Amino acid sequence: MKTLPNLKKFEVEPLYQEKLNALKPQFQNLSLVKLAKEYMTAKNHKDEIEDVLSVINQNLEAINQILVDKMEDENMHSFKAEDGTTIFQKTAVYPKVVDKEVAFAWIKKNKQEHLLSIQHMSLKSFCTELLEQGNDLPEGVECYLKTAVGYRRAAK
The domains of the chain are located at: 13-76, 78-152
Whether 4 shows a pLDDT value over 80: the answer reads no
127-138: average pLDDT: 89
Find out whether 107 and 113 touch, Cβ atoms under 8 Å.
yes
pLDDT exceeds cutoff 60 at 120:
no
27-77 pLDDT tens trace: 999 999 999 999 999 999 999 999 999 999 999 999 999 999 999 999 999
Does the pTM surpass 0.75? The reply is: no
User: Looking at residue 1, what is its pLDDT?
Assistant: 59
CB atoms within 10 A of CB 33: 8
Q: Are 121 and 151 in contact (CB under 8 A)?
A: no
pLDDT at 135 over 80: yes
Where residue 6 falls among pLDDT bands split at 50, 70, 90? confident
The beta-strand segments (E) located in 69-120 are 78-80, 86-97
| pLDDT confidence of residue 121 | 62
Model confidence at 23, pLDDT cuts 50, 70, 90, reads very high
* Cα distances (Å, whole numbers) of residue 54 to 40, 118, 129: 21, 30, 32
Torsion sign across C-alpha atoms 49, 51, 52, 58? positive
Q: Among 48-52, 119-123, 144-148, which is the least confidently predicted range?
A: 119-123
Where does residue 12 rank: exposed (0-12), middle (13-18), buried (19+ CB within 10 A)? Answer: exposed
